[in-house]
Chains A and B, each alone.
Chain A
Amino acid sequence: MGIRFVLMVNKQGQTRLAQYYEYLTLEERRALEGEIVRKCLARNEQQCSFVEHRNYKVVYRRYASLFFLVGVDNEENELAILEFIHLLVETMDRHFGNVCELDIMFHLEKAHFMLEEMVMNGCIVETSKSNILSPIQLMDKAS
């Protein structure tokens, strides 16, 4: 399993989206998020985007006020994960138009669906923006 979890966290450290690809209890999730967020938020722009945490590697990137953190196996290619984060942000940008924290807060489900299209079971299955967004656009049309 390449990707273990995807987190979106704001500058204050509040979780805005959490998707885990392996089952963790609520306590484990809370502890993990707390530790990782503390580690990553303390770092500045000149520092690299990789943090080792327990048996994960966390690859993170900051976009405006939002941090995107992806926990991966040690085998995983860090740079590819950075590209994945960028793709995710671009996709959301295309859908929401200049995505911001509020978009994700109020459309959490959509964000989850986009992720669902891109990642399944920790594997990246889709990298084309239009393919990712087409089911969501269909849904929007339907409702």
Chain B
Amino acid sequence: MMDSFFQRSLEDIIKGLRLCPPGTEPTFIAKSLDDIRREIKSSDRSTKATALQKLTYLHSIHGVDMSWAAFHSVELASSSTHSHKRIAFLSASLSFNPSSTDVILLLTHQLRKDLSSSNAHDVSLALSTLSSICNPDLCRDLTPELFTLLGSSKFFVRKKAIAVVLRVFEEYPDAVRVCFKRIVENLETSDMGILSAVVELLCELTVKEPRSYLPLAPEFYKILVDSRNNWVLIKVLKIFAKLIPLEPRLGKRVVEPICEHLRRMGAKSLAFECVRMIVTSLSEHESALRLAVGTVREFLLDDDPNLKYLGLQALAIVAQKHMWAVLENKELVVKALSDVDPNIKLEALRLVMSTVSADNVMDICTILISHALKSDPEFCNEILGCIFLTCSRNFYEVIFDFEWYVSFLGEMARIPYCQKGTEIETQLVDIGMRVKDARLELVSVARDLVIDPALLGNPFVHGVLAAAAWISGEYVNLSRNPFELMEALLQPRTSLLTPSVRSVYIQSAFKVLMFCIYSYVKLDGDDTSYPSGLTESVSERDLGRSFATVGSESLSDSELDNENVVITGGQPPSFSSRKQHLTEESIMGLINLAETNLGPLSGSDEVEIQDRASNVLGFIKLVKPKLHGCLDQSRGDIMKDELKAPEMIKLIYDLFSEELGPVSLNAQERVPLPDGLALKENLGDLEAICGDVEFSLPMSFSLVKPQMAAQDSAHVLECPSKEVCEPSSESTSLLAEHRKRHGLYYLPPEDKEVVDKDYQPTREPKGKAIDATEDLVKLTEPFFVKKKSNRVKPRPVVVKLDDVEEANVLVEKHEFKPDLLSGAVQEVLLGNEATASSSRKSSNKSNNDITNTAESSQASFVGSGRRKHHTHGKGRTNRTSGKEKEERSHKDEHKRDSRDHKHKSRQRAEGTLNVDVQSSVIPDFLL
């Protein structure tokens, strides 16, 4: 009594929290929690209720844990006072975790009691609670009560029961068999609340697995035509959107009513749903699509940002199949790109990107980039990201002009706030490897990037620079001027780069240097054969040839001698210009440049940089002194020991000349399997044997193992009487080994020869070693025997198999669940008709004259499908207006649609004979 008198109410707590000075809230909550913990144990119901109420509030708004109080909720739920019960059930539905709160099961009885209570409010409270806390156990136990409620005369109870059923079906598919029939019956109701709940339930179910609900299409059609409730119509439209792809003939039926709804232009929500429905599922109906696109245009023109956003979404769906719809609204879409709302801009961008094709990619990119430059950095990056993604899609499917794209990528990298460096980087390198024709342009783009000192200061570009540097190094043979590349790669500002990028720079510098020296040496060597005056003209002539061939044959063979390509076929213009630079002084200058710039780096803290710098320096050290000699040699003074210089250079150059290309994901699979490599052999088995044996036995012994592993299973089969008791594989194999050694004490196996033949070859060469180890084996034998007896478990292989099987079963069970639901639904839909038919058959025959022909032709079909027909007939008897009659004929046709489906499947199952009847009948009905 005192407790309740001094107890603070929920209102006190809320007021207290509001008055809390900032920062003291947690203390206040903690203090209140202490009170609650005390009060909640009170035997006085109302004290307990208030405590629970406060706790629920703190839980829901302030995130206080209340899992410890679960039992108190259960306790209070049994109160006879409705308000206490409410508090208890609210706390339960807000805080219980259906899968882990174990006291939920204690609620079963209380819920059952409340579900069958005469007080409708108690019932509805229990239903609400059940919907949020139900788990499979609860569902199973309460399904009978739910079934009763599905037929309740109180509409607002029935409606809630229907809404709960969705959760119940998910948790406990067996409930479908009990409840589904009643649910379908509720489709005929006149009460909007119930209809809305049923349609919503079926909509959720249809979205998950549409096929099972095809037989209900006639009912849905009726709602589509009759209902004036937007919410219900929206849901029915969603259902049809799922059914039509399965049964395209439905589309012809529903397209007119949908257009009717759209023309009426009532609520925007319904109009939008119609549009979405048409563009997703009815896009082949030209007039409907025109109407929908017209509505979309209205949306786009509207000032309401919501409509604009949705209009763009709808347009994006149309765009997949009907580009004209986008083109018609092009200016609106482009306008949306500069909307104030980032979400609308993004939606417009997605739409634009979805229209990209090989023909328009350049235009679109140009437009988008001009937008990107005008807009805020965030959206600019969004645009860039979209462009890169779209252009690279499916191996650059939309790009035809790679020169354009490559230079485009280069430009993008220069946009000041571009944060898409990684994408550009990957694509540059990727294109380099994949698209040989683009390399020339790529190299010049890379050169421009590498050579620009301003870019080095921007950390976002570093990735791009790394790619550019790599390209400059890898394809240096296409470069116009390797010398300036070298200078760029070694410029002092490269110290601004991150170590990983810088090491790429050094490695590229290495490649460039190598190339220059090599060309120089090569050139000098060739001088004798090439009269100097001719080189120019030869290269001029080669120009035409090389361009003609470069696409078809030139580089396709990665083993192709790169030097040829470079010096003759490669790129004569650059070659000729390069040639002018290739003098001894320039080469020496290059080497000195590298030496001075990389010298200090050989002591760098970064291993990668140090490593690569040392590589270059080492190479220089090796080559530098020999260059003079090499020159001499080319002049004709052939000295034997110095002949090596160009050869060495060539060797190192060749190291880099092998072309790098993209590697297929399944390249490994294409490697031919060498003979004698048994990949399928179970090595785990082998390991178990060797692992145990090796530590006690010398090597020679374990060498024999593989054969034994193959044999031991055979042995088990051969002499089960002897070896059936040997459970572990290593003991079996040891036994086999023993038998082999002391064969004369064993009974001869039936196929002894085979065994002998198999063992002989391995044994003979090792004979001596084995003899030497025989004693050891004998010594260790008792040890093994002991071990064998310890290992009474089944062999590893067997265990594995068991594991696999078990896993399979589990997986199957798991996957089976959704099937269970739809299977149950189908069963009920068919069964439903079957039971309904008997009572309604007679009443229907009379008013079904329109469909009499259909009846007779389908009479040969088995019961349920036909009876279903009657069920609908009954529904129809109540309604007799003229309009209805027309409708009825529609409906009947529908029914046949759906029924055909069922029949088809059933016929297949039963293997009956009516195939020709059916095939002749269906088209008449449907067209």
Contact = CB atoms under 8 A, between A and B. Distances in A.
Interface string A102-143: 000110110011001000110111111001000100110011
A48 B204 contact: no
A82 interface: yes
A52 B344 CA distance: 12
A108 B61 contact: yes
A79 B272 contact: yes
B197 A123 contact: yes
A83 B268 CA distance: 10
Nearest to B165: A121
A62 interface: no
B895 interface: no
Given A51-B343, A120-B160, A2 B63 contact: no
A105 B14 contact: yes
Interface string B63-90: 1010000000000000000110011001
A128 B160 CA distance: 15
Contacts of A113: 86
B11 A106 contact: yes
**A50, A82, A131, A135: which has the most chain B beta carbons within 10 Å?**
A50
Interface residues of A, number: 50
Given A26-B63, A47-B305, A2 B14 contact: no
Interface string A58-92: 00000000000000000101111011000000000
Given A79-B269, A79-B272, A138 B121 contact: yes
Nearest to B89: A116
A75 B132 CA distance: 22
B562 interface: no
Contacts of A26: 63, 65
A126 B159 contact: yes
A53 to B, nearest CB: 11
A30 interface: yes
Contacts of B229: 127
A124 B164 contact: no
A1 B171 CA distance: 14
B204 A1 contact: yes
B97 A109 contact: no
Interface string B152-169: 000010011011101100
A54 to B, nearest CB: 15
Interface in A19-72: 19, 21, 23, 25-26, 29-30, 43-44, 46-52
A121 B164 contact: yes
B525 interface: no
A42 B795 CA distance: 64
Interface string B95-128: 0111100000000000000000000010010011
B269 A47 contact: no
Contact of A16 (B11, B61, B230): B61
Interface in B858-872: none
A111 to B, nearest CB: 11
Contacts of B370: none
Interface in B465-516: none
Given A121-B166, A126-B159, A83 B269 contact: yes
Given A77-B234, A116-B128, A131 B163 contact: no
Contacts of B306: 48-50, 78-79, 82
A51 B344 CA distance: 10
Interface SS of A by simple majority: mixed
Contacts of A52: 343
A50 B343 contact: yes
A143 B84 CA distance: 12
A127 B233 CA distance: 14
B132 A108 contact: no
A21 B60 CA distance: 13
Interface in B220-270: 229-231, 234, 238, 267-269
B614 to A, nearest CB: 50
Contacts of B163: 120-121, 123, 125
B305 A46 contact: yes
A143 B90 CA distance: 18
B566 interface: no
Contacts of B94: 19, 112
Nearest to B306: A48
Nearest to B344: A48
A139 B229 CA distance: 29
Contact of B231 (A23, A44, A124): A124
Contacts of A75: 207, 238
A18 B272 contact: no
A91 to B, nearest CB: 15
Given A1-B204, A109-B87, A143-B83, A77 B269 contact: yes
A49 B192 CA distance: 28
B82 A142 contact: yes
B201 A123 contact: yes
A16 to B, nearest CB: 7
B377 interface: no
Contacts of A16: 61
Interface string B837-850: 00000000000000
Contacts of A112: 90, 94
Contact of A18 (B61, B86, B98, B196): B61
A23 B124 contact: no
Interface string B204-216: 1001000000000
Given A79-B268, A125-B160, A48 B309 contact: yes
Contacts of B784: none
Interface in B338-353: 340-344
Contacts of B128: 116, 120
28 contacts: A17-B60, A21-B132, A44-B340, A46-B340, A47-B340, A47-B342, A52-B343, A75-B207, A77-B234, A77-B238, A77-B276, A78-B269, A79-B267, A79-B310, A83-B230, A83-B269, A109-B90, A112-B90, A112-B94, A113-B86, A121-B132, A121-B163, A125-B200, A126-B193, A127-B192, A127-B193, A131-B156, A139-B82
Interface of A: 1-2, 15-19, 21, 23, 25-26, 29-30, 43-44, 46-52, 75, 77-80, 82-83, 105-106, 108-109, 112-113, 116, 120-121, 123-128, 131, 135, 138-139, 142-143
Given A48-B308, A125-B197, 7 more contacts: A17-B60, A52-B343, A75-B207, A82-B306, A83-B230, A113-B86, A121-B131
